[in-house]
Amino acid sequence: MTGLKQELMDRVSRDLDDIEKALRASLTPHLDLVAQTAGHLIFSGGKRLRPLLNMLCARLCGYTDEFIKRFSTIVEFLHAATLLHDDVVDGASMRRGKPAAHLIYGAPVTVLVGDFLLARALSIAAETKNPKIIGVIADITESMCQGEIVQLIRKGDVGLTESQYMDVIRRKTGFLIQGACQTGAIIAGAPEDVEQKLAAFGFHIGVVFQIADDLLDYTSDTQALGKTIGADLKEGKLTLPVIYSLDKAAPADRQWMTNLIQRMSFSDGEFQRLVRLLHQYGGIHYCQEIALSRVNQAREIMDTFAPSETRDTLTMIAEYTLNRKS
């Protein structure tokens, strides 16, 4: 878990090992090419945020069965499936510091392996024979697809509003992380109010995670990020720092930014000027504020649980999500 502060790393390293083993075990019996294509992405240094949250939320609710290891792979497979398809859809060149899967295995195989992972996730969900869990997983999947479609439709649309943007990230990122926490509670047989609290906790983390991701595209560098910096804008994706700054910008700056966005290509110098404008008009700061407020809401939810190591770890993850560097 790159960039994760040491204390958190020490707390979760054993769980992360279990997750790695379960991911490998669940892919191994399948076709070589499937395991290879899926593995290229899955075993390239993902943070395992989703399965980890799933496992920890189940544990917070008193769940101790070994099945959680296999169960937690559902949310990672769903995540991997959408990354594979997104990279095809966006024509992305890098993912986690490596060439995107479709550039190595071709778009056709990558699309089909994405489908397979989607199906794999739903098969494991079906193993629980728990209709509520299956319903949550199916809903998440549907919602993620809709989020991706809206994002695609809105490509290069400088009229995207903050609330439309929030709707996209809610669907694209929020629901899956929410579902990771919520299904952890459901599998543990937690009461409805606890399930809803953990769902809300996950949702806040999901929003923070996506906003932090969007910020990193303007504040990190390509090497630390493992993908091309400024990639969002090159793909015509307007994110919150830009939406906010566009709204606040003086007419001349707004016009300049609009041209850049609609062109979907820019020089290093132009990108640096854009980043300066995002700082100048408060877009960067605004995102940090929004994310911080969500982290606080997540922390407050955790504070309603009895003190435990698991609770503290979950709080630490909420804080890490905002402060991560990659």
Check if the beta carbon of residue 314 is closer than 8 Å to that of residue 201.
yes
Among 8, 94, 134, 158, binds its own copies (CB under 8 A): 134
Whole-angstrom Cα distance, residue 9 to residue 172?
Answer: 27
| 62, 135, 189, 191: residue in contact with its own copies (rule CB under 8 A) | 135
CA geometry: angle 158, 204, 247, nearest 5 deg: 20
Q: What's the min distance (Å) between Cβ of 106 and its own copies? A: 9
Which of residues 63 and 116 has its CB atom nearest to its own copies in the complex?
Answer: 116
Give the Cβ contact number of residue 220 at 10 Å.
Answer: 17
Position among 94, 122, 200, 290 found at the interface with its own copies (CB under 8 A): 122
Among residues 145, 166, 231, 290, the one that binds its own copies under rule CB under 8 A? 145
SS3 category, 99: strand
* Phi, psi (rounded to 5 degrees) for 247: -65, -35
Contact between 89 and its own copies (CB under 8 A)? Answer: yes
Q: Which residues pair with 98 in a beta bridge?
A: 95
Nearer Cβ to its own copies, position 125 or 188?
A: 125
Read off the tokens for 275.
């980043």
Q: Work out which of 9, 25, 104, 138 binds its own copies, going by CB under 8 A.
A: 138
For tokens 């990558």, the residue is 110
Handedness of CA 247, 250, 254, 257 (dihedral sign): negative
Please say which residue, 33 or 264, places its beta carbon nearer to its own copies. Answer: 33
Q: Report the C-alpha gap between 294 and 311 in whole angstroms.
A: 17
Residue 16 in the binding site for its own copies (CB under 8 A): no
Q: Please state whether 31 falls in left (phi above 0), alpha (psi between -120 and 50) or beta.
A: beta
Rounded CA-CA distance 65/59 in Å is: 9
Binding to its own copies by residue 264, rule CB under 8 A? no
**Could you tell me the sign of the dihedral formed by the alpha carbons of 158, 206, 320, 228, in that order?**
negative
* Cβ distance to its own copies smaller for residue 3 or 91: 91
**Any contact of residue 292 with its own copies (CB under 8 A)?**
no
Residue 185 to residue 162: CA distance in whole angstroms: 31
Tell me which stretch binds its own copies (CB under 8 A): 6-14, 110-118, 178-186, 250-258.
Answer: 110-118
Q: Which of 36, 93, 130, 228 binds its own copies (CB under 8 A)?
A: 130
Q: Are 117 and 38 a contacting pair, CB within 8 Å?
A: yes
How far apart, in whole angstroms, are the C-alpha atoms of residue 98 and residue 115?
21
Q: Does 99 bind its own copies (CB under 8 A)?
A: no
Under the binding rule (CB under 8 A), the answer on residue 109 touching its own copies is yes
108 near its own copies, judged by CB under 8 A: yes
CB of 178 to its own copies, least distance (A): 16
Q: Do the Cβ atoms of 8 and 318 come closer than 8 Å?
A: no
From the list 9, 104, 149, 250, which residue makes contact with its own copies (rule: CB under 8 A)?
149
Query: What span, in angstroms and rounded, lies between the C-alpha atoms of 77 and 117?
Result: 6
Is 231 a binder of its own copies (CB under 8 A)?
no
Q: Contacting its own copies (CB under 8 A), which of 19, 56, 101, 125?
A: 125
- If one asks whether residue 166 binds its own copies (CB under 8 A), the answer comes out as no
Does the footprint of its own copies cover residue 31 (CB under 8 A)? yes
Query: To the nearest whole angstrom, how small is the minimum distance from the Cβ of residue 270 to its own copies?
Result: 26
Interface with its own copies (CB under 8 A): 30-31, 33-34, 85, 88-90, 107-109, 111-116, 118-120, 122-123, 125-131, 134-135, 137-139, 141-142, 144-146, 148-150, 152-153
